[in-house]
């Protein structure tokens, strides 16, 4: 009996075929229990890198496209941008007649002005005159104040500022008795060494004033074009000429103030930023991030002052009296990006006029 029970409890031997089937089934179950990786898990790294690259390329393309589009289509006078700026409590911006209907791509063509192409210019003599806290040539010498120029679509500020400063200095040197307004048109129309309405050099204009002389606006009014109303030779034969002795360079805040106080306005060529085109009042300081034009713009510096603790220059511009403070602007002193204090030029006027010998 015990032997029979022992045989019943012992497992019966399995054939090799059944063992093989069992192992095969176990392997199949193991494969089914293993989780296969998804497509994203398998290629996640590649997808992320690809997406990042696409975003970068798209962003760069968008910026370049937008910048190009803005340059060619954005108006200089944008009421929404002006209102947004004025809400910040900085200097005041506003529309003006000069840049009405202009786009930034139009404006860039009037900023091709330079102070000089010469390597060296004599320094203006220094003086020890006491400098007042504020000064404005137009207020100190009202009999010498000239109408504000409207230069038009002509890069002529190099001639306007130089000739206008000469007029002011002649008037001051003659105690207000010189009432003629000299014309910036003759250097534009008759001097081939500058680029006429394409821009030019302030000192080249003063060279004309030194060697040939300037004529008055009654003889040749400013037209904002490259053509003179008469032949240039005939013009200089029939018009009275006003020569200057020479010109000099002045640098630094104190020296510029003394030169203006002693002799009259000086000429500076400033770097123009886009926010300057809609200046309307207050003390102008370049808005951070504002883009600039490639070349410069000549202005006449006529004085200085102080507002809310900020020292400023008084400049006279050539964009008409609807721009800025009736054609003037207060520009904060010490803005290196404008380059005003670095290098300015002053005409040294003659004490008498000279008729053409021709």
Residues recognised as catalytic: 297, 317
**Distance of alpha carbon 297 from alpha carbon 315, whole angstroms:** 12
Gap between the Cα atoms of 222 and 147, Å rounded: 12
Which has the closest alpha carbon to 274: 85, 46, 1, 2?
85
* Phi and psi torsions of 105, nearest 5°: -70, -25
For residues 252 and 343, what is the distance between their CA atoms, to the nearest angstrom? Answer: 8
Longest CA pairwise span in the chain (Å): 158
**171 neighbors 213 (Cβ within 8 angstroms):** no
Both structure tokens of 356: 């053409």
Length of the chain: 358
Q: Extract the tokens encoding 158.
A: 């190099």
Query: CA-CA distance, 75 to 95, in Å (whole number)?
Result: 11
Q: What is the DSSP string of 84-98?
A: HHHTTTSSEE---ST
């Amino acid at each position: 009996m015990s032997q029979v029970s022992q045989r019943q409890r012992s497992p019966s031997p399995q054939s090799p075929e059944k063992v093989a089937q069992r192992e095969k089934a176990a392997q199949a179950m193991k494969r089914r229990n293993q989780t296969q990786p998804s497509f994203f898990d398998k290629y996640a790294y590649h997808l992320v890198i690809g997406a990042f690259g696409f975003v970068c390329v798209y962003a760069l393309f968008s910026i370049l496209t937008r910048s190009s589009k803005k340059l060619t289509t954005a108006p200089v006078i944008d009421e929404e941008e002006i209102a947004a700026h004025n809400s910040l409590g900085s200097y005041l911006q506003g529309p003006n007649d000069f840049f009405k209907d202009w786009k930034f791509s139009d404006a860039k063509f009037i900023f091709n002005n330079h102070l000089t192409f010469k390597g060296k210019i004599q320094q203006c003599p220094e003086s020890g005159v006491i400098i007042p806290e504020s000064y404005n040539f137009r207020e100190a010498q009202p009999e010498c104040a000239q109408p504000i120029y409207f230069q038009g679509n002509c890069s002529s500020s190099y001639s306007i500022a130089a000739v206008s400063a000469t007029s002011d200095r002649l008037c001051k040197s003659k105690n207000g008795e010189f009432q003629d307004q000299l014309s910036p048109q003759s250097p534009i129309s008759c001097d081939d060494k500058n680029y006429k309405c394409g821009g030019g050099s302030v000192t080249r204009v003063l060279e004309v004033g030194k060697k040939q002389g300037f004529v008055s606006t009654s003889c040749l009014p400013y037209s904002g074009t490259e053509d003179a109303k008469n032949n240039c030779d005939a013009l200089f034969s029939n018009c009275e000429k006003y020569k200057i002795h020479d010109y000099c360079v002045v640098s630094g805040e104190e020296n510029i103030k003394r030169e203006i106080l002693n002799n009259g306005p000086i000429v500076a060529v400033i770097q123009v930023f886009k926010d300057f085109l809609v200046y309307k009042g207050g003390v102008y300081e370049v808005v951070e991030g504002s883009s600039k034009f490639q070349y410069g713009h000549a202005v006449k510096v006529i004085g200085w002052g102080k507002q809310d603790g900020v020292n400023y220059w008084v400049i006279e511009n050539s964009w008409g009296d609807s721009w800025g403070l009736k054609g003037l602007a207060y520009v904060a002193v010490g803005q290196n990006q404008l380059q005003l204090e670095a290098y300015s030029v002053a005409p040294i006027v003659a004490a008498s006029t000279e008729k053409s010998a021709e």
